[in-house]
Amino acid sequence: MMRSMFSGVSSLRSHQLRMDVIGNNIANVNTVGYKASSVSFSEMYSQTLRGASSSSANRGGTNPMQVGLGATVAAISVNHSKGSIQRTDIATDLMVDGSGFFIVSNDANGQNKFYTRAGNFNMDEQGFLVTTEGLFVLDVNFKPIQVNMSDTKNATATQNVTINGNLDVNAGDYTTTVDLYDSLGDIHTYNINFKGPALLSANGQERALATNPGYDPLNLNPDGSLITPTPARKYSYKEITISDNNGLQQVPAATDTFKLYAMFNENGEIVDLVTAPIADDPRNPATVLTSSASTVGIQVPGASDITFPLDRSMFFANGDVTDTRIFTQVSKESDAKGVQLKGVSAGSIDTFNISSKGEIIGIYTNGERKVLQNIGLVDFDNPAGLMKIGGNLFQNTPNSGTPKYGAPGTGSFGSITPGALEMSNVDLAAQFTDMITTQRGFQANSRVITTSDEILQELVNLKR
């Protein structure tokens, strides 16, 4: 009789613990990054009244006779499935879309590491990215992430100039401008002038590429050597000069003994930048054309010279002759533009954003961007083995496995979704269903205790 009462008592304790877990889940239904827990029961132990016996020639075997002695909590497991997404559009709100935990620490050296899925971070007065409790968020090198809003970038002088667009083959003079940066970040505007209509080659005056050093991918052997097309290709030429804002010609310089020409094939595609003696016509087969491959140096008072290559790379994307040609000469409106590459003025950091790869990208007032740090993540073979320590934090345990550190979007790690938070993964419908079954289980076991007590009372009353 006492066994049934103690079985009911043990089950009451187990159901009470399950109710505590359900209550905590419901309490955290709106907690960012919270992971719901669930309770599993198991039989506590059994009293054996009679053991099992084997069969014999005259009698069959018998099964054991056992009486259970109640229930106990076998496990309280944490469900690490991803919670729902909530957009906040706050730059420092981050969500791990996939596997991984943020790494946080309560010391500047990152020695004490904790892990969380709650990405509701903010910036403190020193520019550190911190949790709501003030813990430092660590990067891939276990250093606290800090955005120095006083950071600056030095000016960079122009290193390349490209010309892209089209020149009308029938048009007269055409001028476009390009802004060049010196080493102090000052801007100097220069004019790129194209003189008169194109010089078109006449019949009998075509130039095969084998007779000049021009670069044209349409006339290359597989090994990269030049070939002679049949019939010989036709070319046209456009004279180029570069002058400053006062109209003083800088390229070619007054002391130079050559003129500079852009060379186009019969399809209007740029072939090369070539030079010819001042007195010669580039269309004349007797004129020796030389592919221009020099460096322009423009002097600037108080700053380093502005230098950039003066060759065919000016007409290819990114200044790379293996890239796409970006300059043509066909019969349509001229829209050629000069573009400087890599030159910027001095600037200071204006704001920052965070990429899906966890890169903290500083955006400067001069338009420059720089990766400042990279958010670190950690993953475990058995996330359910982590221990909750409060404040949405976890600690690793011997059963969680060895921590695996890395960057978002690499290996098994998920990517970062900025401006969003991972909400609690608590399923309210499931929690209320569990609450009902827990309540009914508690009531049923209470009735077992009550009934056992009534039977004991009857035994006491037998003496009367």
pLDDT digit of tens for each residue in the chain (464 aa)?
578 888 888 999 999 999 999 999 999 999 999 999 999 999 888 888 888 888 888 889 989 898 888 899 999 999 999 999 999 999 999 999 999 999 999 998 888 999 999 999 999 999 999 999 999 999 999 999 999 988 888 888 999 999 999 999 999 999 999 999 999 989 999 999 999 889 887 655 666 554 455 556 666 666 766 666 666 678 889 999 999 888 888 889 888 899 999 999 888 999 889 899 998 888 887 787 888 888 888 888 888 888 999 998 999 998 888 889 999 999 999 999 999 988 888 888 889 999 999 999 999 988 888 899 999 999 999 999 999 999 999 999 999 999 999 999 999 899 999 999 999 999 999 999 999 999 999 999 899 888 888 888 888 888 76
161, burial (CB in 10 Å: exposed 0-12, middle 13-18, buried 19+):
buried
Q: How far is CA 322 from CA 215, 216, 310, 315, 316, in A?
A: 10, 10, 16, 11, 8
* Gyration radius of the chain over CA positions: 40
The predicted pLDDT at position 173 comes to 94
**Could you check whether the bond before residue 213 is cis, i.e. omega within 30 degrees of 0?**
no
380, burial (CB in 10 Å: exposed 0-12, middle 13-18, buried 19+):
buried
Structural contact between residues 340 and 318, judged by C-beta atoms closer than 8 angstroms? no
The predicted pLDDT at position 220 comes to 67
Going from N- to C-terminal start, the domains of the chain cover 2-47+66-80+426-461, 85-147+349-422, 160-341
Ramachandran angles phi, psi of 328, nearest 5°: -135, 165
Ramachandran angles phi, psi of 50, nearest 5°: -150, 135
162 token code pair: 């490209």
The predicted pLDDT at position 207 comes to 63
- β-strand partners of 93: 120
- The span from the first CA to the last CA of the chain, in angstroms, equals 20
Q: How far is CA 239 from CA 269, 282, 328, 354, in A?
A: 16, 10, 14, 48
- β-strand partners of 117: none
* CA–CA separation, 437 and 452 (whole Å): 23
Q: At CB < 8 A and 24+ separation, what contacts does 452-456 make?
A: 452/1, 452/2, 452/4, 452/5, 452/8, 453/5, 455/1, 456/1, 456/5
The predicted pLDDT at position 202 comes to 67
The predicted pLDDT at position 206 comes to 63
The predicted pLDDT at position 210 comes to 44
Task: Of 3, 7, 84, 81, give the one whose Cα is nearest residue 43.
Answer: 7
Task: Of 83, 146, 57, 46, give the one whose Cα is nearest residue 375.
Answer: 146
Q: Are strands 377-379 and 404-406 parallel, antiparallel or unpaired?
A: antiparallel
207 token code pair: 């130039």
Q: At CB < 8 A and 24+ separation, what contacts does 446-453 make?
A: 446/8, 446/12, 448/4, 448/5, 448/7, 448/8, 448/11, 449/5, 449/8, 449/9, 449/12, 451/4, 452/1, 452/2, 452/4, 452/5, 452/8, 453/5
Q: Are strands 327-330 and 160-168 parallel, antiparallel or unpaired?
A: parallel
